[in-house]
């Protein structure tokens, strides 16, 4: 079996477990007044699990296969791809998750976006930091003010 089908099989198992949790365990603790709502907290996980199961089955059954294109990834030649960049981005994501609470949302997200774009090859630091700062402020404003979800903007020692 090809590498993409093995990955699809693993993802199918994850989506089935996630779907079981979404369909059978998440709704058990709902308050009575929420049971009459048209959209429950488990609605989005249910949709995600169904989409994940369908996508995994499409890959497992080979329905997406057409003719091999020159842009397809050949798992036998993984050394020819930019694995270093991918691993550095994964490490940066882990560092972002670990720094989010102690450094605050604004500093962590600007650093993550700027360093991520630098890893991917952008060299104009003034452009990277400007775009990362604007994007971070827009997301923070939407989450904090529009949705009403508190995000600690700054580190605790500064007053966040």
Average pLDDT over residues 12-40: 83
Alpha carbon 115 to chain centroid, angstroms: 17
pLDDT digits (tens, 9 = 90+) for 91-133: 999 999 999 888 988 999 999 999 999 998 888 899 999 999 9
At 33, list the tokens: 């007044």
How many other C-beta atoms lie within 10 A of the C-beta of residue 82? 12
pLDDT of residue 64: 75
Question: Which pLDDT band holds residue 148 (cuts at 50, 70, 90)?
Answer: confident
Element (H, E) at 128: helix 125-141
As a whole number of angstroms, the distance between CA 118 and CA 4 comes to 29
- Residue 79 vs residues 82, 85, 87, 89, 130: alpha-carbon distances, Å: 8, 12, 13, 17, 34
Residue 31 per-residue DSSP state: -
Residues in the chain, how many? 160
**Burial (Cβ within 10 Å: 0-12, 13-18, ≥19) of residue 49:** buried
- Residue 140 vs residues 29, 78, 150, 155: alpha-carbon distances, Å: 30, 38, 9, 14
pLDDT digits (tens, 9 = 90+) for 65-101: 766 555 566 667 767 777 888 899 999 999 999 998 8
Query: Is the Cβ–Cβ distance between 153 and 105 less than 8 Å?
Result: yes
Query: Is the Cβ–Cβ distance between 113 and 132 less than 8 Å?
Result: yes
Task: Record the pTM.
Answer: 0.56
As a whole number of angstroms, the distance between CA 89 and CA 82 comes to 11
As a whole number of angstroms, the distance between CA 33 and CA 116 comes to 44
């Amino acid at each position: 079996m090809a590498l993409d089908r093995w990955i699809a099989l693993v993802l199918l198992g994850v989506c089935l477990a996630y779907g079981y949790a979404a369909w059978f365990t998440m709704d058990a603790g709902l308050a009575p007044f929420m049971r009459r709502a048209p959209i429950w907290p488990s609605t989005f996980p249910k949709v995600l699990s169904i989409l994940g199961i369908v996508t995994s089955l499409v890959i497992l059954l080979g329905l997406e296969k057409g003719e091999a294109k020159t842009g397809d990834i050949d798992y036998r030649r993984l050394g020819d791809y930019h694995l270093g960049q991918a691993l550095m981005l994964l490490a940066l994501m882990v560092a972002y998750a670990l720094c989010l609470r102690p450094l605050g949302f604004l500093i962590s997200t600007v650093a993550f976006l700027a360093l991520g774009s630098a890893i991917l090859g952008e060299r104009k630091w003034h452009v990277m930091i400007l775009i990362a700062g604007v994007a971070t402020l827009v997301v923070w404003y939407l989450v904090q003010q529009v949705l009403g979800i508190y995000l600690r903007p700054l580190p605790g020692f500064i007053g966040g």
